[in-house]
Amino acid sequence: MTGNTSSEATAAVRLDAIKTRMAEAARNAGRAPEDVTLVAVSKTFDEAAIRPLIAAGQRVFGENRVQESAHKWPALRAQHADIELHLIGPLQTNKVDDALALFDVIHTLDRDRLALALVRAREKGKALPRLLVQVNTGEEPQKAGLAPGEVDAFLARCRDEWQLEIEGLMCIPPADEEPALHFALLEKLARRNGLRGLSMGMSGDFEKAIAFGATHVRVGSALFGSRD
Ligand SMILES: *Cc1c(COP(=O)(O)O)cnc(C)c1O
């Protein structure tokens, strides 16, 4: 055995606890547990911290920075071809090519310029990842995402002008507000646009998000420990 044994045990226990809570939240909401994907948010944690979770069976991971991911993930993915990597942080248009090389899913499409950069990449022959649109449900000036009132028109442009297939919506509720209000709003915006995907819920509120229809919960600290 290697010196990793105890951190692997910790990771396996944490992962199991989160999955159990997710499944219970899904069943309580009359939903199938397999309809909710756990995105393990590994930002700031290094390969040594991530490996035990992979060993425990986790395959879907989220990162918020392109640069950090480019350093960490190619080696891990070379060993585990079935890993699915999600970008959950802002994407600058000058990093689109790097992001396309790394990520299977982007949760943070939030403006025309970025949509057009994706279209240009597609025209150059690149395969696009799965896409979710970020909504700034709390209309916080410091936060990325479309205002709720802009969402319908943006989704229409994605569909009709750019032929970009959008899988769902994503939000990060304001830290000091009841998240349920934001989850309900995001669900309503998705439903009236015929979208099924809902990326919402983090370590502190993922059960509530599942009750409101989350298909992807993004859990970091509850799995990896605090980021300080
Ligand atoms: C860091 C982060 C998370 C995970 O937050 P935790 O509270 O650690 O679970 C989820 N979503 C986004 C967009 C993040 O940046």
Three-class SS of residue 15? Answer: helix
Question: Is there a contact between 222 and 14 (Cβ–Cβ < 8 Å)?
Answer: yes
- Which atom of ligand 1 has the smallest separation from the CA of 222? 9
Determine the distance separating the centroid of ligand 1 and the alpha carbon of 124, expressed in angstroms: 33
Q: What pLDDT is stored for residue 5 in this prediction?
A: 67
Query: Across the strands, what pairs with 198?
Result: 169
Nearest CA to ligand 1 atom 7: 203
Q: What pLDDT is stored for residue 3 in this prediction?
A: 47
Question: Is there a contact between 112 and 157 (Cβ–Cβ < 8 Å)?
Answer: yes
Each residue's pLDDT expressed in tens, for the chain with a length of 228 residues? 444 567 878 989 999 999 999 999 999 999 999 999 999 999 999 999 999 999 999 999 999 999 999 999 999 999 999 999 999 999 999 999 999 999 999 999 999 999 999 999 999 999 999 999 999 999 999 999 999 999 999 999 999 999 999 999 999 999 999 999 999 999 999 999 999 999 999 999 999 999 999 999 999 999 999 987
C-alpha 128/C-alpha 56 separation (Å) is: 29
Q: What pLDDT is stored for residue 161 in this prediction?
A: 98
Determine the distance separating the centroid of ligand 1 and the alpha carbon of 160, expressed in angstroms: 32
